[in-house]
């Protein structure tokens, strides 16, 4: 793993850029390739990939809260719901705005809800925070269930779709691949109209989702390497020490909450737009838990790990639909097994690994004597 990583970072810059571009191109082309094994039988692959991008988005947002700032948030689905509901209300239920105008408002609303939740509750630490946020997520859902203005349990339908480029036919059509017996053909019957956001073809939504993920990823890299990112990590490692060193921890925790809520709301609004329909059932506490699982499975604090975790959590249950009834069971087993085998997540961030190493070394030194000799022999 580390050798692989070293050889990657050791490559000259142009090679690296080409490598990344190829990876991105592959990601965009994925639904067109119709690769055997990966493609989901029985479910629209484009739709599954869209859901994967939404999980990635949410995981990136939650990773800022949980992974960087170390705030355990069990009500993340609340922000997702605020974004989705704002978009739904503005584009269909109480107004007729186009999605592009509603999107910023939805994101703003969820950011504000993040600040509103965070300002009073961030005094509470650790698991108390977890349960308060869990309560918040449930309050949002239950209010939606019981408020006529929010469509009650029936939900809201006819949510606006993103604008299509080039009318109903799109700008041009892109053929899919067809995998015959050992041969690969261009299938001109099966085509995707470029950027037509309709009911039938989910692939444009996936492209939109992927684009947003890439943008957020860039923002994530920038913010993590900035003063803000370091302040978050300091707060996570030791809040009191950070405060003593002059980091206004409360303000940074609030900022982490708001940033996370921003991304969550964005994902929620996009999801509502693709779905065309939302009801409170779309925002069960279960999703908060799945989001958290995505972050922790991948390795909290490592953005690439988190992306992988999100992809796994969103994709695996869809891929193995044959085991329909047993999906949740297998998912639960997988979580237990993974937790036991890789307690740091699949891809723990470098700093965590280093810290763990250091701790072990210290322990060996402290124990001294026999342990030390043993260490030397090895």
Partner 1 sequence: MNFEFFFNNLPGLTITGLAFGAIYALIALGYTMVYGVLQLINFAHSEVFMYGTFAMLWTVMALGGADANGVELVAILIASLVAAMAMSAVIALILERVAYRPLIKRNAPRLIALISAIGASFVLAELMGLRDRVAGWFGLDDDLSGYVGKARINNSIAGVVDAPRWNVAGISVSSIDVLVILSAVGMMVVVDQFVRRSKLGKGIRATAQDPETASMMGVNPTRTIQMTFLIGGLMAGVAAFLYMLKIETTKFDVGFLLGVKAFTAAVLGGIGNLRGALLGGLVLGVAENWGSALFGTEWRHVVAFVLLVVILLFRPTGLLGESLGKARA
Task: By CB under 8 A, name the binding residues for partner 1.
Answer: 66, 72, 120-121, 123-125, 127-128, 130-132, 134-136, 138-139, 142-143, 145-146, 285, 289, 292-293, 296-297, 300, 325-326, 328-329, 331-336, 338-340, 343-345
Pairwise CA distance, residues 128 & 139, whole Å: 16
DSSP string, 203-243: HHHHHHHHHHHHHHHHHHHHHHTSHHHHHHHHHHH-HHHHH
Angle at 147 between CA 142 and CA 148, to 5 degrees: 145
Specify whether the CB–CB gap between 343 and 294 falls below 8 A: no
Encoded tokens for 266: 């964005």
What are the beta bridge partners of residue 176?
Answer: 187
DSSP string, 288-320: HHHHHHHHHHH-TT-HHHHHHHHHHHHHHHHHT
Q: Among residues 5 and 125, whose Cβ is nearest to partner 1? A: 125
Residues 6+ apart with CB under 8 A from 230: none
Sign for the pseudo-dihedral over CA of 20, 21, 25, 28 = positive
Specify whether the CB–CB gap between 76 and 291 falls below 8 A: yes
Which is nearest to 55 in space by CA: 226, 294, 285, 265? 294
Pairwise CA distance, residues 315 & 347, whole Å: 18
Specify whether the CB–CB gap between 55 and 313 falls below 8 A: yes
């Amino acid at each position: 793993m580390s050798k692989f990583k070293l050889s990657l970072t050791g490559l000259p810059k142009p090679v690296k850029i080409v490598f990344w571009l190829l990876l991105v191109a592959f990601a965009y082309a994925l639904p067109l390739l119709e690769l055997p094994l990966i493609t989901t039988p029985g479910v629209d692959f484009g739709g599954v990939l869209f859901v994967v991008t939404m999980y990635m988005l949410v995981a990136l947002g939650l990773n800022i809260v949980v992974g960087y700032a170390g705030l355990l948030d069990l009500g993340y689905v609340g922000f997702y719901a605020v974004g989705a509901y704002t978009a739904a209300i503005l584009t269909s239920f109480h107004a007729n705005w186009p999605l592009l105008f509603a999107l910023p408002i939805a994101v703003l609303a969820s950011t504000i809800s993040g600040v509103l939740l965070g300002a009073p509750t961030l005094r509470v630490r650790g698991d108390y925070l977890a349960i308060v946020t869990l309560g918040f997520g449930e309050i949002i859902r239950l209010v939606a269930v019981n408020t006529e203005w929010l469509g009650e349990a029936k939900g809201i339908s006819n949510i606006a779709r993103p604008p299509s480029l080039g009318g109903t036919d799109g700008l041009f059509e892109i053929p899919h691949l067809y995998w015959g017996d050992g041969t690969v053909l261009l299938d001109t019957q099966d085509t995707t109209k470029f950027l037509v956001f309709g009911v039938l073809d989910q692939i444009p939504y996936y492209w939109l989702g992927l684009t947003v993920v890439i943008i957020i990823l860039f923002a994530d890299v920038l913010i993590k390497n900035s003063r803000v990112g370091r302040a978050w990590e300091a707060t996570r490692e030791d809040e009191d020490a950070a405060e003593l060193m002059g980091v206004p921890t409360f303000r940074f925790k609030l900022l982490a909450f708001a940033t996370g809520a921003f991304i969550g709301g964005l994902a929620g609004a996009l999801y509502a737009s693709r779905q065309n329909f939302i009801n409170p059932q779309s925002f069960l506490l279960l999703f908060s838990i799945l989001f958290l699982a995505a972050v922790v499975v991948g390795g909290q604090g490592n953005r690439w790990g988190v992306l992988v975790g999100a992809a796994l959590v969103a994709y695996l249950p869809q891929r193995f639909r044959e085991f329909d009834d047993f999906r949740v069971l297998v998912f639960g087993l997988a979580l237990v097994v993974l937790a036991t085998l890789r307690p740091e997540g699949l891809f723990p961030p470098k700093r965590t690994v280093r810290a763990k190493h250091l701790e072990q070394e210290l322990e060996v030194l402290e124990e001294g004597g026999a342990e030390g000799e043993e260490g030397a022999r090895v």
